[in-house]
Chains A and B, each alone.
Chain A
Amino acid sequence: DVKVTQSSRYLVKRTGEKVFLECVQDMDHENMFWYRQDPGLGLRLIYFSYDVKMKEKGDIPEGYSVSREKKERFSLILESASTNQTSMYLCASSTRTKGSEQYFGPGTRLTVT
Protein backbone atom coordinates (compact mmCIF):
# COMPACT_ATOMS: atom_id res chain seq x y z
CA ASP A 1 0.00 0.00 0.00
CA VAL A 2 1.42 3.33 -1.08
CA LYS A 3 1.92 5.75 1.73
CA VAL A 4 2.57 9.44 1.29
CA THR A 5 2.96 11.45 4.46
CA GLN A 6 3.31 15.16 5.10
CA SER A 7 5.06 16.69 8.08
CA SER A 8 2.11 18.68 9.42
CA ARG A 9 -1.67 18.70 8.99
CA TYR A 10 -2.01 22.28 10.20
CA LEU A 11 0.55 25.06 10.30
CA VAL A 12 0.30 28.72 11.28
CA LYS A 13 3.13 31.08 10.33
CA ARG A 14 3.70 34.80 10.31
CA THR A 15 4.29 36.95 7.24
CA GLY A 16 7.94 36.94 6.28
CA GLU A 17 8.81 33.65 7.94
CA LYS A 18 10.61 30.90 6.06
CA VAL A 19 8.38 27.84 5.93
CA PHE A 20 9.31 24.22 5.21
CA LEU A 21 6.75 21.63 4.20
CA GLU A 22 8.00 18.08 3.96
CA CYS A 23 6.68 15.08 2.10
CA VAL A 24 7.84 11.48 2.34
CA GLN A 25 6.76 8.50 0.23
CA ASP A 26 7.61 4.89 0.90
CA MET A 27 7.05 3.28 -2.51
CA ASP A 28 10.32 4.15 -4.23
CA HIS A 29 8.48 6.44 -6.67
CA GLU A 30 10.60 8.49 -9.03
CA ASN A 31 8.18 11.40 -9.39
CA MET A 32 7.04 13.76 -6.66
CA PHE A 33 4.77 16.79 -6.90
CA TRP A 34 3.64 19.76 -4.84
CA TYR A 35 0.18 21.26 -5.44
CA ARG A 36 -1.83 23.91 -3.74
CA GLN A 37 -5.59 23.56 -3.49
CA ASP A 38 -7.84 26.59 -3.27
CA PRO A 39 -11.66 26.69 -3.51
CA GLY A 40 -12.78 27.17 -7.08
CA LEU A 41 -9.25 26.85 -8.46
CA GLY A 42 -8.73 23.12 -8.18
CA LEU A 43 -5.27 21.63 -7.82
CA ARG A 44 -2.48 23.79 -9.18
CA LEU A 45 1.02 22.42 -9.66
CA ILE A 46 3.77 24.37 -7.93
CA TYR A 47 6.86 22.21 -8.59
CA PHE A 48 7.67 18.64 -9.47
CA SER A 49 10.67 16.38 -9.50
CA TYR A 50 11.50 13.42 -11.71
CA ASP A 51 14.53 12.31 -9.77
CA VAL A 52 16.84 13.12 -6.91
CA LYS A 53 18.19 16.66 -7.17
CA MET A 54 15.97 17.33 -10.18
CA LYS A 55 13.20 19.90 -10.13
CA GLU A 56 10.96 21.56 -12.64
CA LYS A 57 8.62 24.50 -12.30
CA GLY A 58 4.93 23.88 -12.45
CA ASP A 59 2.24 26.40 -13.21
CA ILE A 60 2.59 28.64 -10.12
CA PRO A 61 6.21 28.48 -8.85
CA GLU A 62 6.55 32.11 -7.83
CA GLY A 63 7.37 32.50 -4.14
CA TYR A 64 8.26 28.82 -3.72
CA SER A 65 11.32 26.62 -4.03
CA VAL A 66 11.86 22.89 -3.56
CA SER A 67 14.52 20.45 -2.51
CA ARG A 68 14.92 16.77 -3.26
CA GLU A 69 18.08 15.40 -1.69
CA LYS A 70 16.73 11.87 -1.24
CA LYS A 71 14.40 9.88 -3.45
CA GLU A 72 11.72 9.47 -0.81
CA ARG A 73 11.63 13.08 0.40
CA PHE A 74 10.46 16.25 -1.36
CA SER A 75 10.42 19.56 0.47
CA LEU A 76 8.52 22.72 -0.40
CA ILE A 77 10.01 25.97 0.84
CA LEU A 78 8.31 29.31 1.17
CA GLU A 79 11.24 31.70 1.35
CA SER A 80 9.23 34.56 2.83
CA ALA A 81 5.65 33.60 3.59
CA SER A 82 2.89 35.95 2.53
CA THR A 83 -0.83 35.97 3.31
CA ASN A 84 -1.68 34.97 -0.26
CA GLN A 85 0.13 31.70 0.34
CA THR A 86 -2.50 30.65 2.86
CA SER A 87 -3.80 27.45 1.32
CA MET A 88 -4.00 23.67 1.45
CA TYR A 89 -0.78 22.10 0.18
CA LEU A 90 -0.85 18.58 -1.22
CA CYS A 91 2.11 16.40 -2.03
CA ALA A 92 1.87 13.49 -4.48
CA SER A 93 4.10 10.79 -5.89
CA SER A 94 4.00 8.45 -8.88
CA THR A 95 6.14 6.04 -10.84
CA ARG A 96 7.90 7.16 -13.99
CA THR A 97 5.46 5.23 -16.18
CA LYS A 98 3.50 7.61 -18.40
CA GLY A 99 -0.04 8.00 -17.22
CA SER A 100 0.61 6.49 -13.82
CA GLU A 101 -1.60 7.15 -10.82
CA GLN A 102 -0.58 9.96 -8.51
CA TYR A 103 -0.83 9.10 -4.82
CA PHE A 104 -1.55 12.05 -2.59
CA GLY A 105 -0.58 12.88 0.94
CA PRO A 106 -3.15 14.06 3.50
CA GLY A 107 -2.37 17.73 2.93
CA THR A 108 -1.06 20.59 5.05
CA ARG A 109 -3.38 23.48 5.81
CA LEU A 110 -1.08 26.50 6.01
CA THR A 111 -2.29 29.79 7.42
CA VAL A 112 -0.07 32.85 7.09
CA THR A 113 -1.02 35.74 9.35
Chain B
Amino acid sequence: GENVEQHPSTLSVQEGDSAVIKCTYSDSASNYFPWYKQELGKRPQLIIDIRSNVGEKKDQRIAVTLNKTAKHFSLHITETQPEDSAVYFCAASMGNEKLTFGTGTRLTIIP
Protein backbone atom coordinates (compact mmCIF):
# COMPACT_ATOMS: atom_id res chain seq x y z
CA GLY B 1 0.00 0.00 0.00
CA GLU B 2 0.88 3.67 -0.04
CA ASN B 3 3.39 5.04 2.48
CA VAL B 4 3.71 8.77 3.19
CA GLU B 5 6.65 10.24 5.07
CA GLN B 6 6.53 13.77 6.46
CA HIS B 7 9.32 16.03 7.72
CA PRO B 8 10.06 17.74 9.97
CA SER B 9 8.00 16.52 12.91
CA THR B 10 8.32 19.91 14.62
CA LEU B 11 9.09 23.32 13.18
CA SER B 12 9.46 26.70 14.85
CA VAL B 13 9.66 29.89 12.82
CA GLN B 14 9.64 33.58 13.64
CA GLU B 15 6.46 35.41 12.85
CA GLY B 16 6.67 36.81 9.35
CA ASP B 17 9.14 34.20 8.12
CA SER B 18 8.29 31.31 5.79
CA ALA B 19 7.68 27.68 6.73
CA VAL B 20 8.13 24.63 4.53
CA ILE B 21 6.90 21.11 5.26
CA LYS B 22 7.89 18.23 3.01
CA CYS B 23 6.30 14.87 2.24
CA THR B 24 7.30 11.91 0.13
CA TYR B 25 5.06 9.13 -1.11
CA SER B 26 5.85 5.64 -2.31
CA ASP B 27 3.24 4.72 -4.91
CA SER B 28 3.58 6.40 -8.30
CA ALA B 29 -0.14 5.75 -8.88
CA SER B 30 -1.06 8.38 -6.27
CA ASN B 31 -2.64 11.39 -7.93
CA TYR B 32 -4.26 13.51 -5.23
CA PHE B 33 -2.39 15.25 -2.41
CA PRO B 34 -4.29 17.25 0.22
CA TRP B 35 -3.00 19.11 3.27
CA TYR B 36 -4.98 19.28 6.50
CA LYS B 37 -4.51 21.66 9.41
CA GLN B 38 -5.41 20.71 12.96
CA GLU B 39 -5.44 23.46 15.55
CA LEU B 40 -5.08 22.50 19.18
CA GLY B 41 -8.17 20.67 20.42
CA LYS B 42 -9.93 20.93 17.07
CA ARG B 43 -10.68 18.66 14.14
CA PRO B 44 -8.46 18.47 11.02
CA GLN B 45 -9.59 20.69 8.17
CA LEU B 46 -8.53 20.78 4.53
CA ILE B 47 -6.49 23.87 3.68
CA ILE B 48 -5.19 23.14 0.18
CA ASP B 49 -4.84 20.23 -2.23
CA ILE B 50 -3.12 19.46 -5.52
CA ARG B 51 -3.67 16.88 -8.23
CA SER B 52 -0.99 15.12 -10.22
CA ASN B 53 -1.63 17.08 -13.40
CA VAL B 54 -0.54 20.31 -11.69
CA GLY B 55 2.92 21.28 -10.42
CA GLU B 56 1.99 24.10 -8.09
CA LYS B 57 -1.09 25.63 -6.51
CA LYS B 58 -1.41 28.81 -4.44
CA ASP B 59 -4.05 30.18 -2.13
CA GLN B 60 -3.07 33.50 -0.59
CA ARG B 61 -0.20 32.79 1.81
CA ILE B 62 -0.11 29.03 1.30
CA ALA B 63 1.15 27.07 -1.67
CA VAL B 64 1.77 23.45 -2.48
CA THR B 65 4.28 22.09 -4.98
CA LEU B 66 4.41 18.61 -6.44
CA ASN B 67 7.33 16.78 -8.03
CA LYS B 68 5.93 13.58 -9.53
CA THR B 69 9.30 12.33 -10.71
CA ALA B 70 10.79 12.50 -7.24
CA LYS B 71 7.48 11.58 -5.60
CA HIS B 72 7.47 14.43 -3.16
CA PHE B 73 5.27 17.42 -2.41
CA SER B 74 5.65 20.38 -0.10
CA LEU B 75 3.56 22.94 1.75
CA HIS B 76 4.84 26.51 1.81
CA ILE B 77 3.46 29.13 4.17
CA THR B 78 4.70 32.69 3.69
CA GLU B 79 4.47 35.66 6.05
CA THR B 80 3.58 33.36 8.93
CA GLN B 81 1.17 34.56 11.59
CA PRO B 82 0.37 33.28 15.11
CA GLU B 83 -2.83 31.65 13.83
CA ASP B 84 -0.71 29.42 11.59
CA SER B 85 0.43 27.53 14.70
CA ALA B 86 -1.07 24.05 14.38
CA VAL B 87 -0.32 20.48 13.35
CA TYR B 88 -0.22 20.00 9.59
CA PHE B 89 -0.83 16.65 7.90
CA CYS B 90 -0.06 15.76 4.31
CA ALA B 91 -1.87 12.89 2.60
CA ALA B 92 -1.89 10.96 -0.65
CA SER B 93 -4.59 9.13 -2.54
CA MET B 94 -4.45 6.69 -5.44
CA GLY B 95 -7.56 8.03 -7.08
CA ASN B 96 -10.06 6.42 -4.79
CA GLU B 97 -11.47 8.20 -1.79
CA LYS B 98 -9.06 6.64 0.69
CA LEU B 99 -6.28 8.86 2.06
CA THR B 100 -2.94 7.82 3.52
CA PHE B 101 -1.73 10.47 5.95
CA GLY B 102 1.74 11.51 6.98
CA THR B 103 2.73 11.58 10.64
CA GLY B 104 2.19 15.33 11.03
CA THR B 105 4.28 18.47 11.62
CA ARG B 106 3.76 20.64 14.67
CA LEU B 107 4.35 24.22 13.51
CA THR B 108 4.95 26.90 16.14
CA ILE B 109 5.06 30.56 15.18
CA ILE B 110 7.24 32.57 17.53
CA PRO B 111 5.93 36.15 18.03
Contacts and interface: CB of A to CB of B under 8 A. Distances in A.
Interface in A32-78: 33, 35, 40-45, 48, 50, 58-59
B22 to A, nearest CB: 15
A25 interface: no
A90 interface: yes
A41 B100 CA distance: 12
Contacts of B104: 40, 42-43
Contact of B43 (A42, A45, A90, A98): A90
A48 B99 CA distance: 11
A101 B34 contact: yes
Contacts of A42: 6, 89, 101-104
B43 A43 contact: no
Contacts of A44: 101
Interface stretch (B12-20, B69-77, B78-86, B90-98): B90-98
Interface string A66-101: 000000000000000000000000100010111111
B97 A96 contact: yes
Interface in B38-52: 42-46, 49, 51
A99 B31 CA distance: 9
A40 B12 CA distance: 17
B43 A105 contact: yes
Contacts of B98: 33, 45, 48, 58
Interface of A: 4, 31, 33, 35, 40-45, 48, 50, 58-59, 90, 94, 96-102, 104-107
Interface of B: 1, 6, 9, 31-32, 34, 42-46, 49, 51, 89, 93, 95-104
